[in-house]
């Protein structure tokens, strides 16, 4: 008898929990209807309300944004999972357009005439929402600690600092170009595509350049632990200066160049350092 009562209690509790979950769960169909009323010119192609608690991820053409369950609040920006150290927005943008993040800085919610942000701005009046900040044209690398860097290439060559993501195809192509040049590369990994764990493994490896090449080749990099605060500094520096995509190159005089460039362009650009 006691067992039967306990089982009934468990079933009742489970049903109550399911009801609470169902009440809290955002419904994509309802959100879609609300968005259609609020943003009639926006063609929504996908809504995911399960990725981030309390928010729905909305894809409209090449635009990515987030709304609450009532579709009253629209959020344009990046969502980071601090536990997995993953940029969820960047990962989704890459899924939408594989070339978007690899050649330069991708923006969430690009300001175009028919984007949701532009529609809301037009409805409110002549003022426009400010676009995301552009990457700095010049930076002071002395603000970065010596840690967090993986140095390779010719020790006596011209120095060039590169901010890269280890899953970025254009970063791999850039590294291949730089390997053929007479340069000393100071590579600073940042995680724009959810690669922080891989960056940690490469940075903590006994032979960092070798582990770096293995990572770019898609080979397994053995787990290792060490002080990775230098990688945190890389990512903080990149965010502070608007480096939202990879690769980003910085010359010895602090001049910034975004995106992959072939060897001939790189050699000319590096010669321009003052």
Q: What is the structure's pLDDT at 41?
A: 84
pLDDT band with cut points at 50, 70 and 90 for residue 24: low
Q: How many CA atoms lie within 13 A of 94 on its CB side?
A: 22
Asked whether residue 204 is domain-assigned, the answer is: yes
Asked whether residue 10 is domain-assigned, the answer is: no
Asked whether residue 152 is domain-assigned, the answer is: yes
Asked whether residue 65 is domain-assigned, the answer is: yes
Residue 225 and residue 155 share a domain? yes
Residue 151 and residue 115 share a domain? no
Give the helix, strand, coil percentages of the chain, each rounded to 5: 40, 15, 45
Residue in 164, 168, 192, 166 with CA at minimum distance from that of residue 87:
192
Asked whether residue 131 is domain-assigned, the answer is: no
Q: Which residue has better confidence, 212 or 12? A: 212
Asked whether residue 14 is domain-assigned, the answer is: no
Residue 85 and residue 153 share a domain? no
Please give the share of the chain, as a percent, with pLDDT higher than 90: 51
Residue 206 and residue 148 share a domain? yes
Asked whether residue 20 is domain-assigned, the answer is: no
Residue 146 and residue 103 share a domain? no
Residue 116 and residue 164 share a domain? no
Which among 95, 124, 153 is the end of a domain?
124
* CATH value at residue 55: 3.10.450.70
CA angle centred on 195, ends 222 and 266, rounded to 5°: 105
Residue 204 and residue 82 share a domain? no
Residue 263 and residue 150 share a domain? yes
Task: Kindly report the pTM of this predicted structure.
Answer: 0.57
pLDDT in tens, 79-92: 877 776 667 777 77
Task: Indicate the range of 52-61, 95-104, 107-116, 253-262 predicted with least confidence.
Answer: 107-116
Residue 264 and residue 156 share a domain? yes
Judged against a pLDDT cut of 50, whether residue 17 lies above it is answered with no
Q: What is the structure's pLDDT at 209?
A: 97
Judged against a pLDDT cut of 80, whether residue 18 lies above it is answered with no
Mean pLDDT value across residues 99-105 = 42
Residue in 269, 262, 201, 264 with CA at minimum distance from that of residue 231:
201
Domain count, the chain: 2
Residue 201 and residue 265 share a domain? yes
Q: Residue 111's domain spans which residues?
A: 29-124
Asked whether residue 132 is domain-assigned, the answer is: no
């Amino acid at each position: 008898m006691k067992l039967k009562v306990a089982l009934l209690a468990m079933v009742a509790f489970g049903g109550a929990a399911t009801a609470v979950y169902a009440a809290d769960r955002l419904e994509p169909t309802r959100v879609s209807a609300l968005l259609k009323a609020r943003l009639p010119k926006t063609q929504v192609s996908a809504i995911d309300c399960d990725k981030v608690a309390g928010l729905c991820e909305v894809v409209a053409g090449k635009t990515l944004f987030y709304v609450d369950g009532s579709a009253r609040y629209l959020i344009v920006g990046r969502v980071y999972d601090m536990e997995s150290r993953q940029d969820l927005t960047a990962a989704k943008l890459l899924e939408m357009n594989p070339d978007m993040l690899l050649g330069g800085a991708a923006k969430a919610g690009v300001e175009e005439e028919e984007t949701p942000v532009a529609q809301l701005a037009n409805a409110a009046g002549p003022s426009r929402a400010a676009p995301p900040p552009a990457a700095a044209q010049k930076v002071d690398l002395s603000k970065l600690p010596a840690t967090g860097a993986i140095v390779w290439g010719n020790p006596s060559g011209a120095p060039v600092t590169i901010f890269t993501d280890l899953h970025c195809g254009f970063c791999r192509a850039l590294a291949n170009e730089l390997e053929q040049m007479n340069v000393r590369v100071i590579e600073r990994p940042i995680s724009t595509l959810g690669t922080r764990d891989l960056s940690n493994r490469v940075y903590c490896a006994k032979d960092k350049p070798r582990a770096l090449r293995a990572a770019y080749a898609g080979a397994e990099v053995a787990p290792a632990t060490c002080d990775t605060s230098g990688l945190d500094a890389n990512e903080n520096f990149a965010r502070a200066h608007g480096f939202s995509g990879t690769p980003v190159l910085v010359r010895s005089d602090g001049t910034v160049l975004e995106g992959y460039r072939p060897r001939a362009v790189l050699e000319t650009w590096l010669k321009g350092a003052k």
